[in-house]
Amino acid sequence: MISKKERIIWVAVVVFVIAISFINIYRPSRAGAQERGGDNDFYRYMTLFQNVYNSLQENFVDSDKVSAKKLITGAIKGMLEAVDDPFTMLMDDKLTAELNSEMAGEFGGLGIVLGMNDDSWLTVTAPIEDTPAERIGVHGGDIISEIDGKTTKGMSIEQAVKILRGKPGTKVTITVVREGEDEPLRFTITRAIINIKSVKYQMLPGPEKTGYVRITTFGDKTLNELKAALADLNQNGMKRIIVDLRNNPGGRLDTAFRTVDLFVSQGKIVYTRGRNPQQNSDFYAQPNDDLCIDIPMIVLVNKYSASASEIFAGAIRDNKRGVLVGEKTFGKFSVQQVLPLDPKNNVTYKMTIAKYYTPLGRSLHKEGLPPDYTADEEQFSKEDMTAVRKIREGKFISEYMKQHPKADADAVAIPKLAATLSTSCIKVRQELLERMIAIERGRAESYKRVVDLKYDRQLQYSMELIGKPATFDYKKLDDAQAAAAKTNAQPDKTAK
C-alpha cells in the first residue's frame, strides 16, 4: 500500500513531469477551470489520472509491470497520441538516434519513408531511391497492412520504424495494399545500410544545355552536394535547369531554405505561424554566389513531394523564379519541434507547433501545392504491374544484367528474355521490359545516367515547356490558379 506521504510526493512528481513535457502549458486556477467547464478542468482530470495510477500500483496482478517509469511513460505517450496528429509522438532513445542518422544520410533499414493516412493505416510516403524497398518494388501510396504477419492497424509510425529497422542482412516481410491490385502484395526485403546520395545530376542530351538535378531528400549533405552539382553544370555551359523533387519526402527544413538561396537572391522563402507568438518566424533569401539566378527554371513535383520539398517548390514559384510541372504535392505544411524529455536516456518527443505558409500566404497543409502545368505520370495496367512484380520476384532483370551489362546486345537479347518469361507464364510488353532493363542499367552505371528521357513523360513535357517564353507568363498562370481555386479544379494546362 502507498502511504499518504508517498501519494503527496507522487502527485508533485506527476505535475512536474507534465509541466516539463509541454511548452508554456496553461495551468488554470481551480476557479478558472470551473468557469471554463469540464473538458478543461485540469485538477479533475489529474485526480482521475492519480486514481488509476494508484489502483494499478496497488492491485495489478503483475507488480513488475506497473513501475513508475512504465506507467508514466505510457501516459505521456498516450497524451501525445491523443492530439490525433501523426507527426506528434514520443521518441525513445532508438528513435531519436535514428532520426539523427536519417538527417546525416546513413542508417540501417529498408529505405521507406512512412506516413499515416486518414484511416490511421501506415502508408509509404515514398521509397528512398536506390534502397532495398525501392528496388524490390515498394511504391509511394502503398498501405502497409502487415509486418511479419502481424497487423499494423493501430500501430504508430514509431512502432513500425522499430520493427522495420534492424541489423543489415536480416529480412522482414511486409504486406501492402495497393490501389489497382485485387490482392495484397507481400515483399520480403533484406535490410541494408542506407546511404542516401541526395543530389544526382546530368546535362540532358541536346544543344539546349539543359541541366537536370534530382534532389531525393533534404539532409545534412544536400546543400554542399547541390552546390557542387550546379558548379559542374555551370562549368559545362548550362543555360536552363530542371530541378526534380518527385518522390522527395522532405527532410531538414533549414537545408531547404538554404538550397532556395542558390536560386533566389532576395525575398521571402517561407514563414510560420503557430499558436504561440514565439513560433512565428519569417525566412528570407540570403546573399549567395549567384549560381543559378537568371536561367529558366522548372521544378518537377508529384503527389509524393512533401514537407521540405513543398517549401522549396513554393518559394521558387511564389518568387516567380520558376514554374511547377507535374502533380499536386503531398500537403505537409506543418512544423514539428523535437524536445528533450529524458536527456539522460536520450528520450525526446516531437510535436507540431506551427504551420508553414508560402511567400504569398498559401497554407496548403493536407491540400498540397498545385502545379502550374499538370502532367500525370504514366499509368500502368493491372497486367503490367503483375508482370513487373513477378519479374522482380524471379530476379530475371538482375540475371539479365549479369549476362548483358552493356546495351549493345539488347536488340537480340531482350526478345530472348521475353520468350523465357513467356515460358514462365509471365506476359510482358517489350516496351515495359526495355524500360525495366534501362532503369537497372542506369543504377549499375553509378549515376552516370540519372534519368532516361525516353521513358519519363513528365520530364519530356518539361523539356517542351522550358524552351517557350510563354511558359513563364506568371500573371496568366496566377489568374489560372485563382480561377481553379474558385472552381476547385486544376488549371487547364495539362500534358496531352
CB 319 within 8 A of CB 267: yes
Length of the chain (residues): 496
**Residue 332 annotated as catalytic:** yes
CB 88 within 8 A of CB 21: no
Q: Rounded to whole angstroms, how far apart are CA atoms 349 and 344?
A: 14
Burial class of residue 495 (count of CB atoms within 10 Å of its CB; 0-12, 13-18, 19+):
middle
Half-sphere exposure of residue 247, counting CA atoms within 13 Å on the CB side?
17
Q: Rounded to whole angstroms, how far apart are CA atoms 462 and 453?
A: 11
Neighbours of 176 (CB within 10 A): 21
**Residue 120 annotated as catalytic:** no
Q: Rounded to whole angstroms, how far apart are CA atoms 202 and 16?
A: 56
Sign, CA dihedral 225-231-232-233, equals positive
Q: Give the angle subtended at the CA of 296 by the CAs of 290 and 301, to the nearest 5°.
A: 105
Choice among 244, 318, 372, 456 that is catalytic: 318
CB 338 within 8 A of CB 99: yes
CB 404 within 8 A of CB 434: no
Nearest to 303 by CA among 372, 251, 247: 247
Q: CA distances (Å), 214 to each of 92, 171, 299, in order?
A: 33, 30, 10
Residue owning grid cell 496548403: 364
CB 189 within 8 A of CB 110: yes
Task: Say which amino acid occupies 442.
Answer: G
Q: Rounded to whole angstroms, how far apart are CA atoms 7 and 47?
A: 12
Nearest to 213 by CA among 242, 236, 248, 234: 242
Q: Rounded to whole angstroms, how far apart are CA atoms 386 and 363?
A: 39
Can you say whether residue 433 is alpha, beta or left, with left for phi > 0 and alpha for psi between -120 and 50 degrees? alpha
Choice among 156, 198, 305, 307 that is catalytic: 307
Q: Rounded to whole angstroms, how far apart are CA atoms 34 and 42?
A: 9
CB 397 within 8 A of CB 420: no
Rg (CA), the chain: 26
Choice among 200, 221, 332, 493 that is catalytic: 332
Neighbours of 196 (CB within 10 A): 23
Give the active site residues.
307, 318, 332
